[in-house]
Structure 1
Amino acid sequence: MSSVKKIRVLRGSPEEVGEQLQENLERMLESTRRWAEILTFDPEPETGLTPKNIVWRKNKAKLYRYVNGEIKYRTPVLFIYALINKAYILDLTPGMSLIEHLVKEGFDVYLLDWGEFQWEDRDLRYDDFICDYIARAVRKVCQISGTESLSMAGYCMGGTMTTMYAALYSRPEVKNIVYIAAPIDFENAGLSSIWLKPPGFDPDKVADTYKLVPKEFIDTGVKMLKPVNNFWGTYTRLWKNIEEGVSIRSWKALNKWVNDNVHFPGAAYRQWIKEFYQENKLVKNEFRIKGQRVELKNIKSSLLVLAGENDHIVLPHQTKAILELSSSQDKEFHLFPVGHGGLVFGSVARNQVYPTIANWLAARS
């Protein structure tokens, strides 16, 4: 669709101004009608379109390997995403996809997609996700790629889980880690710390009541951290896109993802709220996976840490903490003028974040 023309400044006699005003109004009404038709009748845009193959499965989880004509960099890259929402935000639409960008740059890219948790998954803990899913996926990636090391990239909670894995497992070698808005230090998590502070908020009661915490419960809680922006801003951004001539497909794809949530296994939810947000065990070296202490000093990988200065879900200092807590010598921190999603979607992501990640990995792969 062509860009919407800007309204012209009105000049001239009252009659001429009236004619110009009428013309502008007609143009706006026509544009509004056309966009309304697209919003109402067009199907939801397809997402996750970068060609891929399923190379391993466990339960609902799938390990994807993305098809690439030529692999320039031998070290494979494994993406780990959070347990809520869907992983296709990393491969949203053609031209707006971090995975697509890395594949085109010649990287051997994998993604662990958790799938949609159901009632039988209610007792899954981080012990299971780290040892039975991520650890096995890592071995499979290295086996297929024929390497003894890999790079890992974690977005949001996926970065937290990547940290747990890297602190516990020395082989295969985690050569590089890319952190994308990943919470590590939960001491001051902004409004989340206030809302989830004990004894006012009881995660045991939530987990015991629901067993499998409904996606609607999680979605509402996250959106209420910034209700005006999340409930009304969605549509103000739409009208801004209309004015600027931005593709409606991009807006619809992002809106689809924002509302495409998954249930949260109650056992993992209990750990996430109590042991991370309320007790901050990870940075205190008190968090345990199957009885083994997770010590962040064990991490010696090269680190690329990315944060959004407007992120209200994961504050920049929460991610930056890994720079001091690990034993890594090769480490970089980049702060971008975006929110949580802006690190993987939008013009800043496409023009700044994607190249930053690609260039950093290329120099270490």
Structure 2
Amino acid sequence: MTTKTRERNTVPFPTFDMVKEWKRWSRFMNIMTEMESDPKVGHTPRQAVWKKNKSTLWYYPAVEKKYDVPLFFVYSLFNKPFILDLNPGSSIIEGLTKLGYDVYLLDWGTPGYEDKEISLDDYILDYLQKGVRRALRHSGAEEISVIGYCLGGTIASIYAAIAEEPIKNLIVATVPIDFSVQSAPDKWVEGMRKGDYNIDRLIEVYGNMPPAFVNAMFRSISAPVYFTPYVQLLTKAHDERFVERWRRLDKWTKEHVPFTGEAFKQLANDLGRDNKLVKGELTIRGKKVDLANIKADLLVVTSKYDHLIPEEQSLPMMELVSSEDKTYKLVEAGHVSLALSGKFPVLLDEWLTERSNLIAKSK
């Protein structure tokens, strides 16, 4: 009599790599206890061409210049702008210089207590407008493309609506325009709009909005997603390339800068609470900010998985401007990953190529 023995499905026990595990855990612990030196950021060659107070205008020359119209980046007032030049090989600025564009970046710097009276009016007219004029003079260009990322896009849009300078192209990415749409907790928004939360009193106490408060605000909005990067680090701490990229991004997320008190009050009250930009009620030193004054070629970019700036907050820009040439792009990315994937320079180049005056090659 023949008997059959049923084969049992067994799960093989994974091979334990002591060296790999030791390296993974020791590296993770060193990073978490800040035993390692800061990672290097800002890899693309640059030179300072203008300074004002704490701010610097940086110039990144094209590797091989192909276009007459330079690019001028405006970044948020909440963070340091090195997110735009974070990782070699996927940096926005590096990518654009390799594609033939001269690039300028206005670095707002780190305000001190003595800067608490600097307002949005000051930033737009005394820093941004003068920075654009300096870039035009330095480049010898007749026109310029202005690119605003996140809150930098809001500031760039306000500027473009009152600008006297020749802005050929305006690009805004992950930009808050309609502040009636919010990603913050409902109770926060309700309290601010009803006046239960008085931002002016907070600023009177601190002078500027402290970086720790800003950090806590963004962590609250992004939780529990915020903890995901640490799980990724623990999983891949043995991978040198991953760890270096992770540490650069971690450095950026932790280095919020003080937000000058007067400018923050305007952001919270005039934009966040009263939504004056969309309503056409905002003024900058007596000049009415009407987005309909914008006639430059326009590109609006939003991220599908952006939990900070919803698509609905950016879309009104398409209807409010008077530009005849308007393009809208929804990208498969998040608020930050849009700047990290290396795809953003390619997207910009595809749109800018026909709008940046290609330099004819001499025979």
Q: Secondary structure at the match of 2:47?
A: strand
Size of the aligned set, in residue pairs, is: 345
TM-score w.r.t. the length of structure 1 is 0.88
Aligned-pair CA distance for 1:13: 8.7
Q: 2:3 maps to what in 1?
A: none
Unaligned residue ranges in structure 1 (runs of 5+):
1-10
Q: CA–CA distance in 1 between the matches of 2:273 and 2:264?
A: 12
Contact 1:186/1:280 (<8 A) preserved: yes
Verify: 1:213 aligned to 2:209, yes or no. yes
Cα drift, residue 363 of structure 1: 1.8
User: Is 1:36 matched up with 2:28?
Assistant: yes
CA distance in 1, matches of 2:235, 2:171: 32
Whether the aligned pair in 1 keeps the contact of 2:171 and 2:298 (CA below 8 Å) is yes
Distance in 2 separating the partners of 1:307 and 1:193? 22
Identify which of 225, 228, 237 aligns with 2:232. 237
Aligned residue number for residue 269 of structure 2: 274
166, 173, 194: which is aligned to 1:173?
166
Per the alignment, residue 353 of structure 2 pairs with 362
Contact 2:209 2:264 in 1 (8 A): yes
CA shift for structure 1 position 203 = 1.3
Q: CA deviation at 1:304?
A: 1.3
Is residue 321 from structure 1 mapped to residue 316 from structure 2 by the alignment?
A: yes
The aligned counterpart of 2:48 is 54
State the alpha-carbon separation in 2 of the partners of residues 308 and 100 from structure 1.
Answer: 21
Match of 1:140 in 2: 134
* Larger of the two Rg values belongs to structure: 2
- How far residue 99 of structure 1 moved from its aligned partner, in angstroms, is 0.3
Matched, 1:130 2:124: yes
1:107 alignment partner, one of 101, 108, 112: 101
> How far apart, CA to CA, are the structure 1 residues paired with 2:355 and 2:236?
38
For the residue of structure 2 that corresponds to 1:165, the secondary structure is: helix
Q: Residues 45-68 of structure 1: CA distance to partner in whole angstroms, max 9, x if unpaired?
A: 100121101000000000000133
Secondary structure at 1:225's aligned position in 2? Answer: helix
Go from structure 1 to structure 2 and tell me whether the alpha carbon gap of 1:153 and 1:41 turns closer, same or farther (over 3 Å shift).
same
- Contact 2:300–2:328 (Cα < 8 Å) also in 1: yes
After superposition, the Cα gap between the structure-2 partners of 1:247 and 1:280, relative to the gap in structure 1 and judged at 3 Å, is same
Q: Distance in 1 between matches of 2:297 and 2:27?
A: 46
Matches within 5 A, 1:84-103: 84-103=78-97
Partners of 2:25 and 2:228 lie apart in 1 by: 21
Shift of 1:238: 2.1
1: CA distance between counterparts of 2:154 and 2:322? 16
- Once the two structures are superposed, what CA deviation does each residue of 1:20-74 show, in whole Å capped at 9, x if it has no partner? 43x2464762452464377365422100121101000000000000133421111
Q: CA deviation at 1:88?
A: 0.5
- The change in CA–CA distance for 1:242 and 1:331 in structure 2 (over 3 A counts) is farther
Deviation at 1:241, TM superposition (A): 4.6
Assess if the C-alpha contact under 8 Å between 1:123 and 1:266 holds in 2. Answer: yes
Q: Give the structure-2-normalised TM-score.
A: 0.89
CA–CA separation in structure 2 for the residues paired with 1:244 and 1:32: 8
Which sits farther off after the overlay, 157-166 or 336-345?
A: 336-345
- Between the aligned partners of 1:322 and 1:173, the Cα distance in structure 2 is 20
How far is the alpha carbon of 1:162 from its aligned partner? 0.4
The DSSP-based 3-state class of the residue aligned with 1:163 is helix
Q: Within 2, Cα distance between the matches of 1:267 and 1:305?
A: 28
For the 8 Å contact 2:75–2:153, the answer to whether it is kept is yes
Q: Where does 1:220-231 land on structure 2 (aligned, <5 Å)?
A: 220-230=216-226
Cα-to-partner distance string for 1:191-234 (whole Å, 9 max, x where unaligned): 2564133323211122222111211011111111122112x222
Name the counterpart of 2:338. Answer: 343
Aligned residue in 2 for 1:64: 58
Q: CA 1:242/1:233 → structure 2, altered by over 3 Å: closer, same or farther?
A: same
The whole-number CA distance in structure 2 between the counterparts of 1:210 and 1:155 is 27
Pair 1:253 & 2:248 matched = yes
Name the CA distance, whole Å, in 1 between partners of 2:160 and 2:9: 72
Q: Give the C-alpha shift of residue 84 in structure 1.
A: 1.1
Cα gap change, 1:241/1:175 in structure 2, threshold over 3 Å: closer, same or farther?
Answer: farther
Residues 148-168 of structure 1: CA deviation (Å, up to 9, x unaligned): 210011011100010011000
| 1-structure distance, mates of 2:186, 2:130 | 33
Trace 1:147-162 onto structure 2 (pairs within 5 A): 147-162=141-156
User: How many percent of aligned residue pairs carry the same amino acid?
Assistant: 34
Asked if the contact 1:52–1:65 (Cα under 8 Å) also holds between the matched residues in 2, the reply is yes
Q: Which moved more, 1:66-75 or 1:321-330?
A: 66-75
* Deviation, structure 1 residue 353: 2.3
What root-mean-square deviation, in Å, do the aligned CA atoms of Structure 1 and Structure 2 show? 2.2
Q: Work out the CA distance in 1 between the residues paired with 2:180 and 2:186.
A: 8
| CA distance in 2: counterparts of 1:334 and 1:244, whole angstroms | 34
Deviation (angstroms), 1:358: 1.6
Match of 1:201 among 192, 197, 201: 197
C-alpha distance in 1 between matches for 2:282 and 2:63:
42
Q: Which amino acid aligns with 2:344?
A: V
Distance 1:192 1:292, change over 3 A: farther
Tell me if structure 1 keeps the 8 A contact 2:23–2:238: no
**Alpha-carbon distance in structure 2 between the residues aligned to 1:307 and 1:239:** 31
Post-superposition shift, 1:313?
A: 1.4
